[in-house]
Amino acid sequence: MRRTFEIEKTCPRTGARAGFITTAHGVVPTPAFMPVGSQASVKALTPDDVRDVGTEILLSNAYHLYLRPGVDVVEQMGGLHRFMGWDGPILTDSGGYQIFSLASLRRVDDEGVVFRSHIDGSEHFLTPEGAVQLQQRLGADIIMVLDECPPYTKEKMSVRRAMERTLRWAEKCVKAHRGRDQQLFGIVQGGVFSDLRRDSVAFLTALGFPGYAIGGLSLGETKSETLAMVEETVAFLPTDKPRYLMGVGSPEDLVENVDRGVDLFDSALPTRTARNGALFAASGRINIHNAGYKGLDQPIDAGCDCYTCQRFSAAYLNHLFKSKELLAYRLATIHNLRFVMRLMERMRQAIVQGGFGEFRREFLENYRTTDEGVRLAQKQRWLERSVGVHDEGDGPEDPGVVA
């Protein structure tokens, strides 16, 4: 079997590592971040914009594309890459997160999931085998097993049931998988329970996946709980396979989890917070709506090389958001994604050069993070609004615009 992942350098004092994931549509240097394009579009951006900010791989969602425009349409148009005008690697999620986010619109059993479409109310049945087949028809480079993502809870039995069902589904996905050009990743579940995480890893690694995702986190638990579960999981995952932490994208969390040995990330946080006017800067997140930016004749972040910061002032961004001009969303999204991509590039360089520990220390000293209590309250409000009511396909994240 051909090697699809190679490690270039590992930091001797931390778990951080730099490597390469080889796919049918190109090589991805890691650590890497995937912008979310659930419906074959990164909101507000063209594929050229996405490439220009430094994106090497992006994420789309089989569930959303199945409902609209339909996998048949995407196939007729030459596959997902041609359909959306993106020639780089694509990872597709299977729809497992929608089992969580559309709780009132689905029924789950060992055979699969019955969904009621959030678009028109029509009913659909998705099996583990069907999830693999849909993703293979879309033509993604990396595809995911169908998993059951339980909500954050301290009630262990419900988490165990979801984890065990995910493992049974993983076996079915492996048997249904065909072809060498698409890599099928397993997903580790187990909530905030160390023993469940270990059991999940042991079962999945025996199936021999080419990569492993860490799922079921960033769903309302504290950051210390998230980091503890990542550490627990990574400690048992194979060192020669990529590790993908699902749904995490705030700058400080990217740094902390690269430190713990994670290679791949996705989150809608950079794009969604951008559309809300929350922009990343070296000192932390800022709220461009604030009056202090009305007359500020300098870029959002003086050290940023993105199109937005090179061409426009913070005052102009403030004006666009106050005026509700559509250009605001594009310029803000370009900036936030470029900030994240630069962060990934800088971390990779620090690992290769042997200075990641110092990089991490300096970044976390200078970057002001959202207060933990405020963050959890915002997350809970967002979950209450989204679960069982509406799903934009953006995945779990910190939705706030605290500055």
- Per DSSP bridges, beta strands 243-245 and 123-126 are unpaired
- Per DSSP bridges, beta strands 278-281 and 264-266 are unpaired
What does pTM read for this prediction?
0.94
Which of 141, 199, 259, 266 is labelled catalytic?
Answer: 266
The domain at 5-272 falls in which architecture? Alpha-Beta Barrel (3.20)
Amino acid at 315: A
Kindly give, in sequence order, each residue whose CB lies less than 8 Å from that of residue 130, ignoring residues fewer than 6 positions away: 112
Evaluated on CA atoms 81, 83, 85, 90, the torsion sign reads negative
DSSP string, 162-197: HHHHHHHHHHHHHHH---SSSEEEEEE--TT-HHHH
CB 237 within 8 A of CB 205: yes
93 is annotated as an active-site residue? yes
The H or E element spanning position 135 is helix 128-138
Cβ neighbours, 10 Å, residue 368: 14
Which of 93, 199, 259, 301 is labelled catalytic?
Answer: 93
Cβ neighbours, 10 Å, residue 68: 12
Residues of CATH 3.20.20.105 domain(s) within the chain? 5-272
Distances (CA, A) of 268 to 50, 58, 219, 308, 384: 14, 11, 14, 19, 18
pLDDT 10s per residue in the chain (403 long)?
Answer: 468 999 999 998 899 999 999 999 999 999 999 999 999 999 999 999 999 999 999 999 999 999 999 999 999 999 999 999 999 999 999 988 877 777 778 899 999 999 889 899 999 999 999 999 999 999 999 999 999 999 999 999 999 999 999 999 999 999 999 987 899 999 999 999 999 999 999 999 999 999 999 999 999 999 999 999 999 999 999 999 999 999 999 999 999 999 999 999 999 999 999 999 999 999 999 999 999 999 999 999 999 999 999 999 999 999 999 999 999 999 999 999 999 999 999 999 999 999 999 999 999 999 999 776 766 676 666 556 554 333 444 444 444 444 3
What is the per-residue pLDDT across 52-79, written as a single tens digit (0 to 9) for each?
Answer: 999 999 999 999 999 999 999 999 999 9
